[in-house]
Every structure is written in structure tokens, then in C-alpha cells.
Structure 1
């Protein structure tokens, strides 16, 4: 099967490596330099001190000559991708973004494509244009969203590496909100406080504020089992205690964060339904201020 991976970041390279073991994969990159490097060198995966490599094609152009397109760019980069996707013929498109900011866009997107959404539970760090480190094993979970053909994707994904499981979930909203609540509680606070994930559990004041954020977010998302969701937040925080969240890394390196994708979605939903979100508003404003202060030294 022919699969196109849109985006050559950590998630894009990780997906391209593992999917290329079973499929004909092309990475669609923004820069010709990266595309040329992938065509020449393939993709190298670093995992647990070992190195693995896989041949892979790459290009800077997008087409409908694929059985599936997997969009791995960050949510704030989607606005430059949507027009390109609108110009190609009908195909299957799987969106793998942090947060849920793109959901509002997808609901209003009038195209003939079969649209799927999913989450990435793996840990990955891009080391160069062709090298990705697989820092934590997880899964890709996906669900149907609009005008879908789930049997088509199930057929595509029937073969996958044991370190890269791909699983179908029936309820896209439950799937995405399950990860969003974790991201909303951990990422903005670690970025604002400049701490690793685990420190949120070891300082009582941090735990208390995280719980306030959780309560607001869970109310906005209308979570069915808040106790289970709060336990999940704490478990993930503990399991990744030595990690620096992606939002903390983005702030430290002066890059645009995924605040709009994560907190922005919650604030928009709160506004639509007249719900209080004072703590989320504080976090959002704080992160956006840090984004503007790109010269800040950490």
C-alpha cells in the first residue's frame, strides 16, 4: 500500500520508519534539503542504544496517489496544509495532532476526503532531518471522523511492528478527550513553572493547581468518569516524571507552542457553552506571553 506522511518532524519520521517496514512510504516535507537527505540516507531509528534504518522516499509535493495520507504536522501548521489537501483528489486522511484545536477546523472543512483522527502515545525526539529517537513505547490510536471507510484503514494497518501497534477506537471524541485532559493538566504547567513532569506531583502547590485545571477541563469536556481521568493524569505524570513536556521544550527554544491546540480548544468550548475557565485563561495567557518572549533565558 502507498502511504504519504505529511511532516518530517519527530512523529512524522517515527511513523515513516515503522510504516515503511510494510508499505511504500513517502515523507512529504516542507524543505527540499530534508527530502533529499531522506531519499539519500533513508530514516534511522535510535532505540535503547541500538540503531535501525529503513529506506524511504521523500518529496515536497503532495498528491492523491496514496491509499492514505497521515498528517503529522503540529496543529498551528495545519492552515498551510489544508489548501494543499483541497487540491488533490479524494483519498483517506488521518490527522495525528496533539490537542483538539483542529477539530473545530475539521468540522467546517467541506471536502470529499475520508477523514480520520487519532493520537500518538509514543515518545519520540527528532535528532536530525533523517534520525528519530524512539524514547517511549506506546501506540497509535485512530477513529473515524467524517465520510469514512474504516474497513479500508483496518486493512492497511493489519500488519504492524510490535513496537508500533496501531489500534482502532470506536469513539473519536472519547479517544481525543482522553489525551487532551492529560496534556492540558501537564504541558502548560510544566512550561510555565519550567519543571519536569514529575515535579508536578512532588510539590503540593503544583498538585493543587493541576487539580483546579483538571476540574475546569473535565467540566468543559463533560468527562463521564472524572475520578478515573484524574487518576490517569497522575499515572502519566509519574510514568514520564523525567520528561520535559513538548510545551516546555517549545518555550525554552523560542518556538510557537501548541497552546491553541490544547488550551485554546477548551477555552472556545467554554465560551460556546458559557462555562467558567479562569485557570485555563490564566495558563493560556501565560504561555502566549512566554511565546512572545523568545529571548528569555532558561
Structure 2
């Protein structure tokens, strides 16, 4: 299958390596024009992938059968919109990122669009990627012309399991959004690993109460107990991890808060709901972003 992957950070490189090993005709797409990218991925079982992957071939893009976008939410529209007219209208585009709201920046959607969330954990240092935990990637259609794209889940599952197709991916995205609304901002406020949030259960429960109200009015009919168990399960399973948002703040990078808590607040306002605790955290994170000396220069930092 001819595939272009836009955004070659840690998760992007996981997919590049996995798909290349399955024999797919794969390329990366970088903002800075270059003909190839050295991909160095270290797997949890000790296997290592080290190969040059071709990049930025316009002909390859124009004849791609699948586009995978592995960027921060705030980078997606800036990266994708200039390329959209070089992507075949029949080519599915899979967005893999935290948060929600990017689809509204890409309308009208001419191609089949898929949304996805993943629980694979990876980090990168000196261009070396460490895949520290296997996970599950959930994908599904977000427009009607993508509903017949379910075979893509099997193709991706063969390369980097597990991959699950969802007929209602929106509910899955909202569940992940809820977890991100709790874990990411609180780890910044308390400057802690995920597991240390267990010392702040009253604050967690207050956030969950507000999130459930928004999800209910959005028509998702959320079971609060089930959602609470899901969020605490992630906190336990990632207890030794630093959240991606805390890492962004520490590295003076723009966070995805506008597409996580900011999206929740926007949807709440549309229904006339108040979310005071989420509002408070949102404004605190935005203040932290703006106080970072390097934030303004990193706002438009070039993506890989």
C-alpha cells in the first residue's frame, strides 16, 4: 500500500518503522524539504529498526492510498491544508493526535477522513525513538465517505497491533479527551508524574463531574462511574510517566490545551453550561505557556 505519513515525531516514526517492515511503499513528509529521514526505533522486546525512509516525494503523495497525520493538534491544519489539493479525493486521511477540534479547521472534507487515538507510549532523544509500551490504536470514520474504510484497521493492525475499528469513533475520542482534560492540566499544576495525581482525588472528581455534564448534553450518555474508572486506570497504568503537556511546558513548547480543555469549554458554552474548574485550569495553563521565554518563538516551531 502506498502511504504518506505527515509528522515524523516519536509516534510517527513508530508507524514508519512498522509499516516499512510490512513492505508498504511508505514515505515521511517533513516541513523542511529533505529527501530522506533516518528512523531509529528501539522496541520494548529489544528489537531495533534503523533505516533511511524516503521523504517529501510529491508524486508519491499524489498517488498515496492512505495519509496518516501524527502531529500535535495545533499543527494539523497548517501542515495539511497546503497539501490537500495534492492528495487524491479517494485517499483516506487518518488523524492521530490528542484533543478534538481539528476537523472544524479542515472543512470542507473532500477526502474520507478517519480519526484515531492511540495508547502506544514512545519518547525520543537525539533522534532515537524508544517505544516503551505497546498499546491499542482506535480508529473510525468521521464523515460518511470514510465508513467503508474499515479494512484499513486490519492493515494497520498487522503492522503495529492492536488496532480496532469503531463505528462510533466520536465516543472513543470523547473518552480520551476526558482523560486528557483531567491528567494533562493537573500534572502541570502540581508539577508531578501521573501517578502522583492520586493525591488530588477531590480535584479529579470535580473535573469529572463537569466533563460528564458536557458529554451528556453532547448526546454521549456517559456513565460517570465507568468514566471515572477509565481515567483512574490510565493514571495507575502510566503512574511513572510525565504527561505530554507537562513535557511541553518544561520544554517551552506550545501545548494542546486549546484542543483538550479548550475544546471541552467551547462545547460547554455552546450549550450554556458552566465549567468553572476546567476554566480555571485552562487559564492557568495558558498563563504558563505565555510566561515561557521561548514560547512565542516555539509557537510555530517546525514540525517533523
How far apart, in 2, do the equivalents of 1:9 and 1:162 lie?
18
Change (3 A) 1:155 1:101: closer
C-alpha distance 152-51 of structure 1, shift in aligned 2 (>3 A): same
- Counterpart CA distance in 2 for 1:44 and 1:245 is 23
Shift in Å, 1:84: 2.0
Structure 2 vs 1, CA of residues 155 and 255 (structure 1 numbering), >3 Å: closer, same or farther?
closer
- The C-alpha deviation readout for 1:111-155, integer Å capped at 9, x for no partner, is 3201111101111112244x3111111011100111434444515
In the TM superposition, what is the alpha-carbon distance from 1:103 to its structure 2 partner? 3.9
Partners of 2:126 and 2:139 in 1: how far apart?
27
Residue of 181, 192, 195 corresponding to 2:192: 195
Counterpart check, 1:27 vs 2:28: yes
Q: Residue 124 of structure 1: SS of its match in structure 2? A: strand
Question: What residue ranges of structure 1 are gaps of 5+ in the alignment?
Answer: none
Q: Report the 3-state secondary structure (helix = DSSP H, G, I; strand = E; otherwise coil) of the residue aligned with 1:45.
A: strand
CA offsets 1:49-99 (integer angstroms, 9 cap, x no match): 724115453323553311100011111112312322332231210111101
Mapped to 1, the partners of 2:246 and 2:97 lie a distance apart of 17
Residues 245-284 of structure 1 show CA distances to partners (whole Å, capped at 9, x for unaligned) of 0000001111000101101110110110000111111111
Change (3 A) 1:99 1:137: same
Equivalent residue number for residue 290 of structure 2: 292
| 1:191-215 Cα deviation digits (max 9, x unpaired) | 12101001111x2xx2111111111
Where 1:157 maps in the other structure, the secondary structure is helix
CA RMSD of aligned residues (A): 2.1
- Matching residue of 1:94: 94
CA distance in 1, matches of 2:147, 2:40: 31
1:220 aligns with 2:218: no
Q: Go from structure 1 to structure 2 and tell me whether the alpha carbon gap of 1:56 and 1:93 turns closer, same or farther (over 3 Å shift).
A: farther
CA change 1:54–1:215 in 2 (3 A) is: same
Instruction: State whether residues 185 and 210 of structure 1, in contact with CA within 8 Å, keep that contact through their aligned partners in structure 2.
Output: yes
Answer yes or no: is 1:72 the counterpart of 2:70: yes
Q: TM-score, normalised by structure 2?
A: 0.87
Taking the aligned partners of 1:159 and 1:16, their CA distance within structure 2 comes to 11
1:15 corresponds to: 15
Q: How does 1:46-57 map to 2 (within 5 A)?
A: 46-48=42-44, 50-53=46-49, 55=51, 57=53
Aligned with residue 45 of structure 1, among 16, 41, 47: 41
User: Are 2:274 and 1:276 aligned?
Assistant: yes
Instruction: Report 1:43-192 matches (<5 A).
Output: 43-48=39-44, 50-53=46-49, 55=51, 57-60=53-56, 63-88=61-86, 89-90=88-89, 91-106=91-106, 109-129=107-127, 131-155=128-152, 157-158=154-155, 160-161=157-158, 164-192=161-189
- Contact 1:101/1:264, CA 8 A, preserved across alignment: no
| Aligned mates of 1:103, 1:149 — CA distance in 2 | 14
How many residues are treated as equivalent by the alignment?
Answer: 285
